[in-house]
Amino acid sequence: MSLKVGENVPYFELKDQKGDLFKSDTVIGQKPAVVYFYPKDETPGCTAEACSFRDSYEDFKDLGAEVIGISSDSIGSHKCFAQRHSLSFILLADTKKVVQRLFKLPKILFGLYTKRITFVIDQTGKVVYVHDSILATSHIKKALKAIKNSSDKTINV
């Protein structure tokens, strides 16, 4: 099973859609964050999810939170995906699935892809909410509510 509420997010480094090295401790443990894992760029569900995060990105920023999307796709794929859909948040290329293993993600489709799952992380670096649903657009509302309630230890979403 994946990381659970109350667990600390492990440190990781991956390249973003611009080819820059992202170090997790520049965000995780510094401010609230939403880290969402998705199966594949440009698929209908993943595009809907990314565009929903894009459309609510300012709401997350207003709450002091950063949004980070992670999949096994390449930097080039992420770059095209971000440009095509005007995604201004961070997309990380986990081509070797190292971070997916750190987050203990279950696999789908014979282990080829990661499951769609969203982690809401407080400013101390602890997981405060996990949303595991195939319904792509459900992740955004749940994550926003969890961020709003993250000062509360009992999150009802």
Superfamily designation of domain 13-148:
Glutaredoxin (3.40.30.10)
pLDDT of residue 108: 61
pLDDT of residue 110: 53
Name 58's Cβ contacts closer than 8 Å, sequence gap at least 6. none
Given the structure tokens 């509302």, which residue do they identify? 141
Task: Give the number of other Cβ atoms within 10 Å of residue 149's Cβ.
Answer: 16
- CA-nearest of 116, 18, 30, 24 to 72 is 116
pLDDT of residue 91: 98
pLDDT of residue 154: 39
Q: Are 80 and 48 in contact (CB under 8 A)?
A: no
Query: How many whole angstroms separate alpha carbon 24 and alpha carbon 150?
Result: 19
Query: How many whole angstroms separate alpha carbon 45 and alpha carbon 17?
Result: 20
**Active-site residue numbers?**
46
pLDDT of residue 132: 84
| pLDDT values of the chain reduced to their tens digit, one per residue, 157 residues | 788 999 999 999 999 999 999 999 999 999 999 999 999 999 999 999 999 999 999 999 999 999 999 999 999 999 999 999 999 999 999 999 999 999 988 766 555 556 789 999 999 999 999 988 776 677 788 899 999 887 554 344 4
Task: Give the number of other Cβ atoms within 10 Å of residue 53's Cβ.
Answer: 27
Q: Identify the sign of the CA torsion 66, 67, 70, 74.
A: negative
Instruction: Tell me the pLDDT tens digit for each residue of 2-26.
Output: 889 999 999 999 999 999 999 999 9
